[in-house]
């Protein structure tokens, strides 16, 4: 399936690391993917604290802000409300091709592991699991408790990709943006989306 034909659901939750989520959406749109975006209430707080970025609560206003920021094709990005239960991603009859929760709070991870589906983010993730679609969680927490690890193990056994934002340094990053791109590149690899964000291990002349 070509990237232009793929629909990727992305959720931003209230863990530290929203720059990863923003860059991921930007790269997906640049690749030609359609992006369905979900944003938790606490993610708005994190965006303000980490990036001085005000994310409107109304989906239509957030849609307008992000359309201006990312300049994707018309209709390529769709923002859904947190309890928009008639959104396509709420049903296995019309799921996204894949979903990424980036960043992912431990509360969200635990809820997905328990199958609670109390919000559209949790329900969309539950749909991915039951429909056996790719689900990638990018949990940002340290250190990890036994509870965190057991929840991750439960999800991994269900086929979920657990991808902590732990950047490598073999490509000699000189900026924070390069560290962000390292993680986004790993997410795009999991989704099968082509990119040239970072050098790959073993590429001649690029890991010296």
% of residues, the chain, pLDDT over 90? 89
Mean per-residue pLDDT, 146-159: 98
CA–CA gap between residue 168 and residue 33 (Å, rounded): 26
pLDDT band at 36 (very low <50, low <70, confident <90, very high): very high
The predicted structure's pLDDT at residue 206: 52
The predicted structure's pLDDT at residue 181: 97
CATH number at residue 165: 3.40.50.1950
CB-based burial label for 49 (10 Å; 0-12, 13-18, 19+): exposed
Whether the predicted pLDDT of 1 surpasses 60: no
Domain count along the chain: 1
Q: Report if residue 204 sits inside a domain.
A: no
Backbone angles phi, psi at 150, to 5 degrees: -65, -40
% of residues, the chain, pLDDT over 70? 95
Whether the predicted pLDDT of 208 surpasses 60: no
CB 101 within 8 A of CB 136: yes
Q: Report if residue 203 sits inside a domain.
A: no
The predicted structure's pLDDT at residue 197: 92
Whether the predicted pLDDT of 4 surpasses 90: no
The predicted structure's pLDDT at residue 204: 54
Q: Report if residue 14 sits inside a domain.
A: yes
CA–CA gap between residue 23 and residue 10 (Å, rounded): 11
Whether the predicted pLDDT of 172 surpasses 50: yes
Domain of residue 146: give its range: 3-191
Q: Report if residue 205 sits inside a domain.
A: no
C-alpha neighbours within 13 Å on the C-beta side of residue 128? 29
pLDDT band at 3 (very low <50, low <70, confident <90, very high): very low
Q: Report if residue 20 sits inside a domain.
A: yes
What is the edge-to-edge ordering of all strands in the sheet holding 161-162?
77-80, 34-39, 7-12, 98-104, 134-139, 161-162
Tens digits of residue pLDDT in 96-148: 999 999 999 999 999 999 999 999 999 999 999 999 999 999 999 999 999 99
Q: Report if residue 186 sits inside a domain.
A: yes
CA–CA gap between residue 182 and residue 165 (Å, rounded): 9
Mean per-residue pLDDT, 1-29: 89
CA–CA gap between residue 12 and residue 53 (Å, rounded): 14
Q: Report if residue 167 sits inside a domain.
A: yes
Q: Report if residue 196 sits inside a domain.
A: no
What long-range pairs does 66-73 form, CB within 8 A, spacing at least 24?
A: 66/25, 66/37, 70/25, 70/26, 70/29, 72/29, 72/35, 73/29
Tens digits of residue pLDDT in 48-92: 999 999 999 999 999 999 999 998 888 999 999 999 999 999 999
Stated pTM of the model:
0.94
């Amino acid at each position: 399936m070509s990237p232009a034909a793929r629909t990727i659901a992305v959720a931003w939750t209230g863990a530290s690391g929203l720059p990863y989520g923003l860059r991921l959406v930007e790269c997906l749109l640049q690749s030609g993917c359609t992006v369905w975006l979900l944003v938790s209430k606490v993610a708005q707080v994190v965006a303000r604290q980490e990036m001085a970025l005000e994310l409107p609560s109304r989906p239509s206003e957030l849609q307008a802000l992000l359309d201006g920021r990312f300049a994707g094709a018309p209709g390529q990005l769709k923002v859904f409300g947190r309890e928009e239960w008639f959104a396509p991603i709420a049903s296995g009859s019309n799921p996204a091709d894949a979903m990424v929760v980036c960043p992912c709070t431990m509360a969200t991870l635990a809820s997905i592991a328990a199958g609670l589906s109390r919000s559209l983010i949790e329900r969309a993730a539950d749909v991915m699991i039951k429909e056996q679609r790719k689900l990638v969680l990018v949990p940002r927490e340290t250190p990890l408790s036994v509870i965190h690890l057991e929840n991750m193990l439960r999800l991994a056994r269900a086929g979920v990709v657990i991808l902590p934002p732990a950047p490598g340094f073999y490509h000699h990053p000189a900026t924070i943006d390069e560290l962000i791109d390292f993680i986004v590149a790993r997410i795009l690899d999991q989704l099968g989306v082509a990119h040239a964000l970072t050098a790959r291990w073993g590429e001649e002349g690029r890991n010296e």
